Structure 1
Amino acid sequence: MEQRISLITLGVPDVEKAAAFYEALGWRRAESPDGVIAFDLISQTLGLYPLAALAADIGLPEDTLGTGAVSLSHNTRSKEEVAELLAAAEAAGAEILKPAQDVFWGGHHGYFRSPDGHLWEIAFNPFSALSPEGAFRWNGY
């Protein structure tokens, strides 16, 4: 298995409502088949899929899926962008769980919960500079 994640699929109760949240953050939909809404990222895609359909596809009861103890992270180019993006997420309907603040290891971050319950970290890591296109790598570009 090659070391990459190609598609991140979030099971959501209402795909249009979930898509409206990401669109309010400035994301643009990609062409996709019925039943899934996709947003192309840098070398990955975020897919929104009905939670009931995801459970059926996996073969588990819907109430056993939950949202899990996973956080998705969006790294920024500057410390200032963290608070700006948290404010944009809140304006789009997210719940701020942790406001922008310095972190013991030298970075700056905050967390929000999307309207569907998915956890997101917005972070600036001064040790992992983004590529000109915005790609992230652990030790930077």
Structure 2
Amino acid sequence: MLPQRITLITFGAQDLPSLRAFYTRLGWEDTPTSSDDYCVFTTAGVLLSIFPYRELLKDARLEGLVPEGTEIQKPAYRGMSLAVNVEEPEQVDAAIEKARQAGAVILKEPEEAFWGGRSAYFADPEFNVWEVAWNPSAIFDETGAMISF
């Protein structure tokens, strides 16, 4: 059986020190195991790691998809987004302002969502897409992880 949980999300970075610096500017703290070759941020419920893109290709046995020496096109939407859900609607605006100050590309300014909450989107320097959302029916556990909505 495969447990129904997500424990680690890894971004393949083309410029790991730059991407690490971006998340640090957001106010996120990396772990003591972090370096210029690998970086891990602790979040509520899931670890976010940053690993060199080419090394991730090798580790997953995908290096044939992007031949050595091929430049990766940026920005490139990867068909997914991650979300940070917050407890109050005004926290969406504050989080987007912090992302803007850290150097994010704001994709959608904070606005009322069709589903009754408030949301906005930004992309980090390597175009990993994040939503910041307030959902009035969200339930968080004691660690800040959203467990239901």
Cross-structure match for 2:69: none
Deviation at 1:2, TM superposition (A): 1.0
Q: Aligned partner of 1:29: which letter?
A: D
Equivalent in the alignment of 1:84: 94
> Gapped runs of 5+ residues in structure 1?
none
Q: List 4+ stretches of structure 1 deviating above 3 A.
A: 61-64
**What TM-score do you get using the length of structure 2 for normalisation?**
0.85
**TM-score of the pair, normalised by structure 1:** 0.90
Matched, 1:99 2:101: no
Give the C-alpha shift of residue 15 in structure 1. Answer: 1.1
Task: Classify the secondary structure of the residue corresponding to 1:53.
Answer: helix
| 1:119 paired to 2:129 | yes
Contact 2:26 2:102 in 1 (8 A): yes
- The answer to whether 1:14 aligns with 2:15 is yes
Give CA-to-partner distance per residue, 1:4-38, whole Å, 9 cap, x none. Answer: 01100001111111111111111111122663100
Residue in 2 aligned with 1:73?
83
- 1:110 Cα deviation (Å)? 0.3
In structure 1, what residue type is equivalent to 2:128?
H
List alignment gaps of at least 5 residues for structure 2: 67-71
> What is the CA–CA distance in structure 1 between the aligned matches of 2:124 and 2:34, rounded to whole Å?
24
Deviations 1:87-110 (A, max 9, x none): 111111110000000111111000
Q: Specify the SS of the correspondent of 2:5.
A: coil
- Following superposition, the deviation at residue 59 of structure 1 comes to 2.2
Q: Report the counterpart of residue 54 of structure 1 in structure 2.
A: 56
Q: Report matched runs for 1:28-39 at 5 Å.
A: 28-32=29-33, 35-39=37-41
